[in-house]
Each structure stands twice: as structure tokens, then as C-alpha cells.
Amino acid sequence: MSKGPNLKPCEIREAMFSKIAATLAVAGSAAAASVSCPADLPYSCANTTVVEDLCCFESPGGAVLLTQFWDTAPSTGPSDSWTLHGLWPDNCDGSYEQNCDPNRAYTNITAILQEKAPCTLKAMHVYWKDYKGNDESFWEHEFGKHGTCMSTLEPQCYSNYQPTEEVADYFTRAVDLFKSLPTYDWLAAAGIVPSSTATYTLAAIQAALTAHHGHEVVIRCSGSSLNELWYHYRVRGSIQSGEFAAVEPVGSGSTCPKTGIKYLPKYATSTPTTTTTTTTTTTKGSTPTPTATSVPTGVPGVLAGKGYIKVLPDGFMISTGNWYRASGTPATFTATPNDDGTAFTLETSKGPCQILADASLSCAPANIQTKFHVNGKSSYYRTPRASTLPLCPAARTRGSFTSRQRLCRCSCTGNRCRQ
């Protein structure tokens, strides 16, 4: 028996809404649906004869790019993920059109997506960031400049078209494609990680990305610093429901030098405006206990914003909730106060953070967020005293983080803590 996709609750709801809308459209309601396309169409930019139906064939912008940023000055998005720049319809020769329909240059992208694609919007708040802090303006620019030039997103390509219907399709497809391109992980697997001192060659970066994408990627630098990637595709069918196939780049090429490329860490010299930094203190063989080094003003005892969780004296937390005592980059944790301001939750790029039954910290998609509190300089969570003691860290350089109401000073005899 085949296993279905592992969808997050928000994605499940959105998938259900899509199925309901499609059912209503078939039944003849006013719900909009994109046209159904034949399965035997050629890929964009690969046709040998003229294709008349441009609702099922992306033209003239059939060379589609998914572009990503690595912003460090200022930094944007999670410290262990690239961010989304846009989804662009270049012409088959590498040239491009822009701002094709001023009447659809919408100025309320957030409101549109809140209604039509809330899961997509949630992801965009994390991964589609403007370096000036104005995400809405950035999204408006991307759709107005590029989305309006996609032939398969034209209003006539929808039955019972409702204004702004194509906006949700554009951003949802861009986010879904972005999720299939975990650039940070691909580079890290090849030993290419952010560093203030190390440099890399263009050939090494290209090899790491090509190994996963299947084709070369346009690698762009600001000076000698890596800051943007362009992944190239052709599409069979429409942007909203078609099949994307990776291809070799056309048009503008890589701009990085062959050697000496810097891949700078995010948030290396300063933290975001709303950042608070939380640290955890350990002794050799002990279980980390969180310590807040900066409590934001306004709501005493509650953390808010983005920051790192460090394990003192020489470690840090990664996005899964585990800790490292080694070189690398700490994950960005987002602290969100609850409605009454008495507690806060934590989340990383991997998902909500929860204290599990074994008292370990986990950040994963299916988790139910634990409510944390700050008491002076110590972060903690309220829970009945556990009947079993947590495991000690499994290794000197990495391990599971265990959060308890008081510091568990442990000896590792039998791999269990002793108070």
C-alpha cells in the first residue's frame, strides 16, 4: 500500500479547501478553477510547432527561474536556510518581459493570501523576506513584475475567474518549488557551510548543487560573497499545476570569482531588530538549562522575536532542538508570546518546539508547542516532576537538549543523570 504525503495540519486544511473548490467548480458553482491541460504537451521552450493554447503552455516566458537569496547585510530569514527571491518567466533566449499587466499589480498580497492560501502566507513570513523589512512591498513587486507576465496565469485561463485567483497560484507554486530546493542542506552536505574565515571555489559550490538539481545553477556573488542562486526549469502545462523539469541555464550566468568565495554567516555581527538571545548553561556531563541573556522590554518574563540559543561555554542549538559543541551555525529560534503575555512558544525552520515525554526538546512539524517562561535569567517550562531522569548527552560534541525546572548535574554512569 502506498503511503500518502506527510502533510502538516495547515497543508491538510489547504488541500481540503482546494478539493472542495474543485468539486464545486465541476458542479457548476462560481468557484474558480484553472483549465485542465492535456498530458502530452511539450515542455515550454521545447516545442517544434506553434502551440495556440497559452493557458496550457507557458509562453513567451517559458524559461522559468526559481531564485534564492542569502542575505547577510542585513540578514534575513533563518540562519540555516536560504530565502526566496522569486519565480520568474524568462524568454527562451534568456531575455525577459516585465510588468505585463498594470491592472493586476495588486497592492494587498497579504490579504489575498490570508483568504486564499494561508499556509503559503505562513511559509512566506519565514522564507520570503525583504532585506528592508517590507515583505508586503517585496511580494507586490515580484507578482507585478513577474507574475503578470505568465501566460498560464492570465484571467482567461480560469473558469468562473474571480479577481486575484492567480495570486494564490503564483505564490503557492513558488513556495512549493522553493521547498524542493534545500540549498543550505545541499551545500552543507558537501562541507560548504557559512563561515567568517573559510572560502570556497566556484567549482565546489557548483558541483554540490548540480549533484542534487541535476543541472548547473547560476551562482551569483556580491563582490566575492555568495548571495544569490538561480535554478532553471521548463514547464509542461501550466504554472499552477504543470510539471517542472530542471534544465541548464540560459541567459545571464554566474558572477562569482573562481576562487576565494565567501559564504558569510547570517546574524554574525548583529541580531535582528526584534531579536532576543537565549543561552543555555552546561557543565561537563550535565544537561543544559536555558538562560536568557536579554529579556525584551514591554512584557517582563516573556521573550519575543528571533535569536539564537547558545549552550555555554562553547555550544549552540540547531533547528531540530539538539545541541552542538562544534563549529557551524546556530539556528534561528522565533519566540512568540501568547495572547495574555504570560508565556511564549519557540519555533525553528524545522517546526514548533516541544518538550517531549522524555524531557528532551524537539522542533518538528508535528509538534504541539510547549509554553515557556522566563524567571530572572532562566527560561523554563512548567511540568510535573518527571518520574525518570533524562539521559546525559550522548557525545562530547553533540546531543539532545533536556529542559528541566532546575539544573540536573549528572554523572554519566549508566547513561543516566544523578541529582
Please indicate, yes or no, whether residues 405 and 313 belong to a single structural domain of this protein.
yes
Q: Is residue 118 part of a domain?
A: yes
- Catalytic residue flag (residue 216): no
Instruction: Give the DSSP letter of residue 346.
Output: E
In a domain, 201, yes or no: yes
Report residue 175: phi and psi, to 5°: -65, -45
What is the Cα–Cα distance from 371 to 381, expressed in whole angstroms? Answer: 6
The pLDDT of residue 61 is 98
Residue pair 316/347 in contact (Cβ under 8 Å)? The answer is no
Domain boundary among 262, 293, 316: 262
Note the pLDDT of residue 25: 32
Residue 302 sits in the same domain as residue 242: no
The active-site residue out of 14, 58, 142, 166 is 142
Determine the pLDDT at residue 347: 87
In the prediction, which pLDDT does 306 show? 74
**pLDDT at position 318:** 84
Residue 5 lies in a domain: no
- Evaluate whether residue 237 is within a structural domain: yes
244 and 319 within one domain: no
Domain with residue 222: its CATH number is 3.90.730.10
The x, y and z cell numbers of residue 385, run together, are: 516532576
- 233 plus 288 within the same structural domain: no
Do you know the residue count of the chain? Answer: 419
Which pLDDT score is estimated for 320? 85
Helix H or strand E segment including 121:
helix 118-127
Judge whether 48 lies within some domain.
yes
Total domain count for the chain? 2
| pLDDT at position 414 | 34
pLDDT for residue 76:
97
What pLDDT sits at residue 400? 56
- Residue 133 and residue 233 share a domain: yes
Residues 83 and 202 in one domain: yes
- Domain stops at, among 234, 262, 290: 262
> 235 and 112, same structural domain?
yes
Cell 480560469 belongs to 158
- Which domain covers residue 308, as residue numbers? 278-415
Q: Does one domain contain both 285 and 249? A: no
Question: Based on the domain organization, do 282 and 252 belong to the same domain?
Answer: no
pLDDT score for 7 = 46
Q: In the annotation, is 140 catalytic?
A: no
Kindly report, residue by residue over 30-60, the tens digit of the pLDDT.
Answer: 345 677 899 899 999 999 999 999 999 999 9
* 258/282 same-domain check: no
Does residue 19 sit within a domain?
A: no
Q: How far apart are CA 321 and CA 92, in angstroms?
A: 44
Residues 146, 165, 213, 216: which is the catalytic one?
146
* Model pLDDT, residue 389: 29
Cell of 338: 501568547
Same-domain status, 107 and 48:
yes
In this structure, the strands spanning 278-281 and 309-312 are parallel
Residue 327 domain-assigned (yes or no)? yes
The whole-number pLDDT of residue 75 equals 96
* Residue 405 is assigned to a structural domain of this protein: yes
The answer on 208 and 182 residing in a single domain is yes
14 as an active site residue: the answer is no
What residue ranges of the chain have pLDDT lower than 70?
A: 1-33, 269-302, 311-315, 324-329, 338-342, 374-419
Out of 201, 235, 262, pick the residue that ends a domain.
262
Cell 540560459 locates to 250
Report how far residue 36's alpha carbon sits from residue 210's, in angstroms, rounded to the nearest whole number. Answer: 33
Q: Is the separation of the CB atoms in 370 and 354 below 8 Å?
A: yes
